[in-house]
Structure 1
Amino acid sequence: MGSSRSAAGRGGGGGGRKSSRFPPKNPPFKQQKQPKKKKKEAGREEPTPSSEDTAGRPLASASEQLGFFLAQYQSANGIHLSSLELDSIRDTCILELSQGPEPDVNALGKQIKAAFGPSWKGVLYEGSLDQGKIHPGSPAVIAITASAIRTIEILRGFRSLTRECHAAKLFSKHIKIEEQVAMLKNRVNIACGTPNRIKKLIDIEALGLSRLSVILLDMHTDVKGYSLLTLPQIRDEFWDLYKNYFHERIVEGNLRICLFGPINIQNEIKGKSSKV
């Protein structure tokens, strides 16, 4: 009996010590785990809307896009537009696309359809050469890019339209200008190319502007960070083309600009406001 009491006492004493150790450890362990989990969840949730809000450059309004473009125009050409000139260029000259943070070239055809609205087919497919309603080589849309490779990519994006809406690629790499002149004697609804070749074809009256409704400017940046408006030689060629054939039409309200791709709105708007 004594030994069993002694064993029981030892067992009870050991059990008592264990019960006195573990209960205090468990609550602090649970209390620390839950707050850490909440902090991690909060850390994952906060940056997402923040990065989407600050990086949503393609979501800029028509007014901001116009401000960006006019700031680029003035800076690149060393000119200062007066208040009267700026007032004559309205936000309606911007054709907005429903783009996400990273524009999808493959969806470009669908975006153009949506931007034109119900009248898109009438504008892009209007008439035929046989009916005499349109002039040969006169596209409704001219897309301007910084390179031949990018031209091919943009035209691929128009693929959903070009089964009926004939497209023309206008760049100098591997294509003689005589070949393009011959091609432009046919019906063309969309043209895409580099600034220098587009201007040459307009100069010799092979590329017509009678139906031109939109100029789409590809704002894509290459691996070195250059774009249509920042690559030195291409930039100069673009502004030469724009000043000669497009600016007056923009001012008169007969032509719209479509900026395809991300643009740095904040810096350019500040630059424009300091000049005007």
Structure 2
Amino acid sequence: ECFLKQPEEKEKSTEKPKRRRKKKISDVLAKSAPKAGVHEDLQMLLNKHFGAQRSVIELEELKLPDSCFLPANDLTHSFSSYLKEICPKWTKLRKNHKEKKSVLMLIICSSALRSLELIKSMSAFKGDCKIMKLFAKHIKIAEQMKMLEKGMIHLGVGTPGRIKALIEQDGLSLNSLKYLILDWNWRDQKLRRLIDIPEVQKEIIDLLEMRIIKLCREESVKLGLF
């Protein structure tokens, strides 16, 4: 007698199907060559953020005029050489600065650590001006407000969140502000620029909307992308 052998059932696979890994911003940026930021990038960022929320008239009020933009860094400059190029009359400007609670130049970075790096790298530009750290790490806001009230500060370097908070609490005035520089091209360990970090991007937009855009439209403040 002939018996047909039944094929053995294959053991059911206990392995779970692999989940598709979500693409991170660092994956995208790692494959792209560094590209210098231009002022159209900032305007596009504002349009994208406010496009669905504002009317055509309101969007027009958020438009930054071309005349308010300084030459952008083409990735060949050191920080000092860039500042020298965009602000050739810095020495005269800082000598004439008399207003407390206000600064002539604000430099916006993504983190406290990056702020410290930039402060160290601007020695060839700053001369004998007084620089103040405007970030939250290890520094209380009340402490910063006292320093701004007492001393004559020429240049502030910090994060958008803390700078915004100081303005809101009347600790920092924008009356003397002439230049606002965004540390646009620098990338962190994850290859993110400051505008690639959602919370930092939102704080920058809030800060610009608060009063900077109005001052740019009045031609009293110039914007630079380093």
* Same-fold status (TM-score > 0.5): yes
Q: Which residue identity is paired with 1:237?
A: E
> TM-score of the superposition, structure 1-length normalised?
0.62
Aligned to 1:126: 96
Matches within 5 A, 1:136-155: 136-155=100-119
Which residue number in structure 2 is paired with residue 72 of structure 1? Answer: 45
Moved more, 144-153 or 92-101: 92-101
Check conservation: 1:125, 1:189, Cα contact below 8 A: no
Greater RCO between the two (CA within 8 Å, min separation 6)? 2
Question: Contact 2:80/2:122 (CA < 8 Å) preserved in 1?
Answer: yes
Tell me how far apart the structure 1 counterparts of residues 64 and 141 of structure 2 sit (CA, whole Å).
Answer: 34
Aligned to 1:110: 81
State the distance in 1 between where 2:81 and 2:74 align: 11
The root-mean-square deviation of aligned C-alpha atoms, in Å, is 2.6
**SS state of the match for residue 178, structure 1?**
helix
Q: Tell whether the 8 Å contact from 1:136 to 1:184 is kept in structure 2 after alignment.
A: yes
The alignment status of 1:228 with 2:194, answered yes or no, reads yes
CA contact (8 A) 1:139 1:188 kept: yes
Q: Which residue of 1 aligns with 2:217?
A: 251
Percent identity, aligned pairs only, is 27
List 4+ stretches of structure 1 deviating above 6 A: none
Give the number of aligned pairs.
191
Q: Is the contact between residue 97 and residue 115 of structure 1 (CA under 8 Å) also seen in structure 2?
A: no
Structure 2: state its 5+ residue gaps. Answer: 1-31
Task: Output the amino acid matched with 2:142.
Answer: E
Q: Which residue of 1 aligns with 2:203?
A: 237
> Counterpart of 2:67 in structure 1: which amino acid?
T
- Point out the structure with max Rg over C-alpha: 1
Paired position in structure 2 for 1:164: 128
C-alpha deviation, 1:163, in angstroms: 4.2
* CA contact 1:144–1:193 (8 Å) conserved in 2: yes
Deviation at 1:137, TM superposition (A): 2.5
More helix by share: 1
Partner residue of 2:139? 175
Is 1:184 paired with 2:148? yes
Structure 1 residue 111, shift from structure 2 partner: 2.3
The equivalent residue for 2:71 is: 96
CA contact (8 A) 2:108 2:181 kept: yes
Q: 1:87 to 1:211 in 2, by over 3 A?
A: closer
Amino acid at match of 1:187: M
- AA aligned to 1:200 is A
SS at match of 1:143: strand
Instruction: Return the letter of the residue paired with 1:91.
Output: D
Gaps of 5+ in 1: 1-53, 128-133, 261-276
After TM superposition, give the deviation of residue 207 of structure 1 in Å: 1.0
- The structural deviation recorded for 1:187 is 0.5
Q: Secondary structure in 1 aligned to 2:156?
A: strand
Counterpart position of 1:20: none
The aligned residue for residue 210 of structure 1 is 175
